[in-house]
Amino acid sequence: MKKLSRESLDCIHQLLDRFWVVRKENPELFYEIKQNEEFLRDYFKDYFRFKLVVGADFAKVEKFQIAPQPSTGISDFKEVKDYIIFYCVLAFLDGKASKQFALSDVCQAVVSYYPRSSKEGVDENTPVLTWKGNEGYRNRLSLIRALKEAVRRCLIEVMDKNIEDFQERETNDALLRSTGLVKYFMRNISFNIEEKLTLNDIVLLQEVQEQELGIERKHLLYRKLFLEPALYRHEVSAADFDYLRQYGRYLNEHAEKYYDMNVDIYGSSAFLVKESIGTFRRLFPANNAESNLVIQFATLLRLKIIDNNDSLVEQKDGTVILTNVDLDVMCRQLIVENRQGWTTGLKSMSVAEVKNTIKNMLFEWKLAEMTQEGELKLYDVVGRFYEKAKEEKLKEHNDD
């Protein structure tokens, strides 16, 4: 493999980090990818078994993880209905290359495409969605979120008026235009998705398809390390994790050379660590209020465990289980001890909102998961984070 230039490195980083690169939005990066297309195609195939797709107006790497991850969701979507409406919008856009249309046209199409109830006694001709009344207001908000996501993904452009005006009244309209990129948005699959009724059916079929592409242990580990916040022993086979421990230095060399990162491997986890803030990728902790809140939470948790808090016990695998009561108590303590230094947004949050903010961040960065009993299971990696201001106090406990 040839030595990478700074420009080639940037292409790799951006293609991994972005859903796609659109020429109109970022022409310099797009043409840099075009110039390095052969190398980039080989790189993503050799290390990830990912396919690089380069069209006249876009470039993207078709990234796919067999196990669905919370981080792959759309953060601005509030409920399942948002996703359903979004895919109805995609169906409407299909075949509308560079054509203008009104928001009211989208409304009619979404009502038409929206799945109908299978319950007995429900008239098939009765519209599933309404845009009027209280229910219509919530549906309009869902459609606005879906359309804004389509704009963010460069699938449509707003030509006249404002999408948000639809929130106030169902008769408010706007002029939109399709960019023609929708046909490249969805990943091609080799089976009829309409014949598969469950997510597990699709995952199993995808596993077979991946095997046919020659997915090996190396590709699996590269995918999990470079696309997910962390890799845990329970997520892979014992042989895969043993392989990671035995040959981790080769992955570390790759991470150092191409990403300026290191692979840290522990008894039950592995993850990428970056010593300095870079210009690519989202990192945790970031310099924002939510990250600081989670760091304060992690510090408090660590101090409670050190102080032998009876209700918080570290398991043999390094995990800690928190009940809803434990989490409420900790959030109240965080508010009392740290609120003075918080941003205005955090200060205005209730205990429940603080708790949800912490949980969402923990889930997004794979620092925790919910148990079947509805409790919060924190992974041992949480113990790596703590406030600098309380570092001396933690050292005192460790020295004791």
Structure tokens at 378: 């924190």
**Is there a domain that residue 68 lies in?**
no
- Is residue 39 located within the same domain as residue 127? no
Residue 197 forms part of a structural domain: no
Q: Is residue 198 part of a domain?
A: no
> What are 51's strand-pairing partners?
62
Q: Which tens digits make up the pLDDT trace of 4-20?
A: 788 888 999 999 989 99
Domain boundary among 262, 281, 300: 281
Mean pLDDT of the chain: 85
Do 130 and 47 share a domain, yes or no? no
Examine the domain organization and report whether 310 and 388 are in the same domain. yes
Q: Say what the pLDDT of residue 1 is.
A: 44
Q: What's the domain count of the chain?
A: 4
Are 219 and 195 a contacting pair, CB within 8 Å? no
Whether 350 maps to a domain, the answer reads yes
Neighbour count for residue 20 (Cβ, 10 Å):
21
Could you tell me if 97 and 178 are in contact, meaning their C-beta atoms sit under 8 angstroms apart?
Answer: yes
Q: At what angle do helices 238-259 and 6-17 cross, to 10 degrees?
A: 130
Among candidate residues 160, 184, 208, the one where a domain is terminated: 184
Residues 109 and 160 both lie in one domain: yes
Q: pLDDT digits over 211-226, tens only? A: 777 788 899 899 999 8
In a domain, 192, yes or no: no
Are residues 108 and 175 located together in one domain of the fold?
yes
Which pair of structure tokens corresponds to residue 205?
């079929």
d(CA 160, CA 172): 12
Residues 301 and 277 grouped into a single domain: no
Amino acid at residue number 84 = I
Same-domain check for residues 258 and 293: no
Q: Which two tokens stand for residue 392?
A: 């001396």
pLDDT reading at 151 higher than 90:
yes
Provide the residue range defining the domain that includes 29: 1-62
Greater confidence, 212 or 155? 155
pLDDT in tens, 165-206: 998 888 999 999 999 999 899 877 666 666 656 777 777 777
Least confident of 23-32, 62-71, 208-217, 324-333: 62-71
**Last residue of one domain, picked from the residues 184, 205, 232:** 184
Q: Please give, one letter per residue, the 3-state secondary structure of the chain.
A: CCCCCHHHHHHHHHHHHCCCEECCCCHHHHHHHHHCHHHHHHHHHHHHCCEEEECCCEEEEECCCCCCCHHHCCCCCCCHHHHHHHHHHHHHHCCCCCCEEEHHHHHHHHHHHCCCCCCCCCCCCCCCCCCCHHHHHHHHHHHHHHHHHHHHCCCEEEEECCHHHHHCCCCCCCEEEECCCHHHCCCCCCCCHHHCCCHHHHHHHHHHHHHHCCCCHHHHHHHHHHHCCCEEHHHCCHHHHHHHHHHHHHHHHHHHHHHCCEEEECCCEEEEECCCCCCCCCCCCCCCHHHHHHHHHHHHHHHHHHCCCCCCCECCCCCEEECHHHHHHHHHHHHHHHHHHCCHHHHCCCHHHHHHHHHHHHHHCCCEEECCCCCEEECHHHHHCCCHHHHHHHHHHHHC
Token look-up 């409304």 returns 107
Query: Is the domain of 302 the same as that of 226?
Result: no
Q: Are residues 36 and 137 in the same domain?
A: no
80 Cβ contact list (under 8 Å, min separation 6): none
Instruction: Residue 109: name the closest of 135, 123, 134, 128 by CA.
Output: 128
Does 89 share its domain with 49? no
**Position 51: which residue type?**
K
In a domain, 20, yes or no: yes
Q: Residue 64: its pLDDT value, please?
A: 76
Which range among 24-28, 93-97, 202-206, 368-372 shows the weakest confidence by mean pLDDT? 202-206
CATH number of the structural domain spanning residue 53: 1.10.10
* 104 lies in the same domain as 12: no
**Sequence-separated (6 or more) residues with CB below 8 Å from residue 215:** 49
User: Bigger pLDDT: 66 or 364?
Assistant: 364
Q: Does residue 201 sit within a domain?
A: no
C-alpha distances out from residue 381 to 282, 327, 378, 385, Å: 18, 18, 8, 8
- Within-domain flag for 190: no
Q: In terms of domains, do 163 and 247 share one?
A: no
CB 64 within 8 A of CB 209: no
Please state the pTM of the whole predicted model: 0.81
